[in-house]
Structure 1
């Protein structure tokens, strides 16, 4: 793995070697040619504009690491380095692990998280010292909203981390507070959840008092295997599908096929699902559904799921 844009970083301390003075960097930032990542670190604006949010998080973290050799990434910055998904708005901060003596605080665009065990659960990703994926998702469980923590932990489990390992790391960490909150995330997390959108959907389904679905249920008909569905409620004969629209946009998924052809294939798949077995209903939702409070629960209630009290 490598961090996009890291090879285009311009650091103030290297400006003389690059035949750039401090005033040139300031002028570049003022006239829009350079994007200022933080004091003393810049990148060409065309590089910054081409980056997605997660790439930007990683690049900001890389700039911090270049400027401060003792830097250790944690929390959201560590999650970005570990390629864990996020569904919250970027806070614009670089997150660092520091000692208790240094103290937890936010300054100069850095959120410093003080811990007693500064030397535990560390790894190196893209040349940057960072908390391990296990410790990262536990840190997020302690500090982030429940749905965001579940999104990250589901992805970690999907990538091969086990709950047993998470509990071992939690015992080694032995946080002074928040353990019950962390354990709640571990209990709910499920590596069978196929994407960030599916994880967020699961949280909304549970918090909305709807029945828990089966995940990644396989369906077949006389023609053979149809596919795996995101959510399946056998008691209510309902299939749920989160559609992140990714397959309609990304070239590597399209593999040369037009988006219209993908839509056509999805329609054929859905028709086969509706005709299979007990002829289940199929309900779909997208990102915008998840962003409106209560929208998914209302939609699934309308599709026939009861809401408990």
Structure 2
């Protein structure tokens, strides 16, 4: 059975499908048999058999929402713009499409859209994949002023990693009121070395507990100058920590390598670090959710005599 043709974003619009000769009944049948998913009124995506991440699905939904809207002056903003910018966000709010209207008033929460008020100058928006969105710096400030410290830190870390201008971010924060204090605090701790939102969350927990801030992505070499490892976090070259280590290694298996091979490779790596006198600890998402990270780090900082 042939399928309607998606556009360059991967979206099938009802009007285009009808132009191809399909009927509404045929489109409905494809939704009913799970060949397609309706992501917005008059917009669909093909189900290819591969599961889309929430971010991937939200990206398509946000694009469909803004291109289908009669309010063509609106720009994708907040978490929706963050997804298009490729930010690694911690617990992003993706249940609604976020749009900035450019008007001083008129913010409202709808079933599937969150309309944000506030002026938008030309410098506040850019075009990403043909879609008008708030700029990277404006986007991350909008997010950081509306979420908690850990989410704000993750957003800033990711934005800096993606090339955001810290000075421009700071300028935006001079003009914001609500949530600006927490956002400024998060920006002060932001570090492009954090590779994902999970790593940022771990650091946020350590910061909030008053523990020493770790160095990020430090490379260790042996006495002969041979590279040993690059760690997610370390303190004074005495204590190193890895977030979600085994999951990372299993995602990057070499050709012909098994999960057991990756586990053995990681053990050899840790053994080499310990021979250098570096203690290695690790945590996963569940440890972050259950607040196990701070006690673990504090215990080893105390054992190794690293001042808290």
- Asked if these proteins are the same fold (TM beyond 0.5), I'd say yes
CA contact 1:86–1:151 (8 Å) conserved in 2: yes
Match of 1:124 among 127, 143, 168: 127
Change (3 A) 1:152 1:244: farther
Per-residue CA deviations over 1:240-290 (Å, capped at 9, x if unaligned) read 11125443343xx324141332222221111111111xx232111112211
Match of 2:109 among 96, 106, 109: 106
CA contact 2:101–2:115 (8 Å) conserved in 1: yes
**Structure 1, 282-291 or 94-103: larger mean CA deviation:** 94-103
Q: d(CA) in 2 for partners of 1:280 and 1:50?
A: 40
CA contact 2:149–2:183 (8 Å) conserved in 1: no
Q: d(CA) in 1 for partners of 2:189 and 2:227?
A: 30
Partner of 2:138: 135
Aligned residues: 297
CA contact 1:243–1:285 (8 Å) conserved in 2: yes
SS in 2 for 1:16: helix
User: What value does the CA root-mean-square deviation take over the aligned residues?
Assistant: 2.7
Partner of 1:285: 283
Partner of 1:299: 296
Partner of 2:204: 203
Change (3 A) 1:299 1:76: same
Match of 1:24 among 26, 33, 37: 26
| Structure 1 position 45, deviation (Å) | 3.0
Q: d(CA) in 2 for partners of 1:239 and 1:194?
A: 16
Partner of 2:86: 83
1:142-157 alignment runs, 5 A limit: 142-157=145-160
CA contact 1:197–1:244 (8 Å) conserved in 2: no
CA contact 2:107–2:115 (8 Å) conserved in 1: yes
Change (3 A) 1:37 1:118: farther
| Structure 1 position 32, deviation (Å) | 2.8
Partner of 1:217: 218
| Structure 1 position 218, deviation (Å) | 2.8
CA contact 1:240–1:282 (8 Å) conserved in 2: yes
- After TM superposition, the score normalised by the length of structure 1 is 0.85
CA contact 2:125–2:135 (8 Å) conserved in 1: yes
Q: d(CA) in 1 for partners of 2:139 and 2:266?
A: 36
Q: d(CA) in 1 for partners of 2:39 and 2:86?
A: 20
Unpaired segments of 5 or more residues in structure 2? 1-5
**Structure 1, 54-63 or 14-23: larger mean CA deviation:** 14-23
- After TM superposition, the score normalised by the length of structure 2 is 0.86
| Structure 1 position 5, deviation (Å) | 8.4
Q: d(CA) in 1 for partners of 2:26 and 2:41?
A: 14
Per-residue CA deviations over 1:166-195 (Å, capped at 9, x if unaligned) read 223444xx2243332321121121122233
Change (3 A) 1:177 1:144: closer
| Structure 1 position 105, deviation (Å) | 1.3
Q: d(CA) in 1 for partners of 2:92 and 2:176?
A: 27
Partner of 1:263: 263
| Structure 1 position 134, deviation (Å) | 0.9
| Structure 1 position 16, deviation (Å) | 1.8
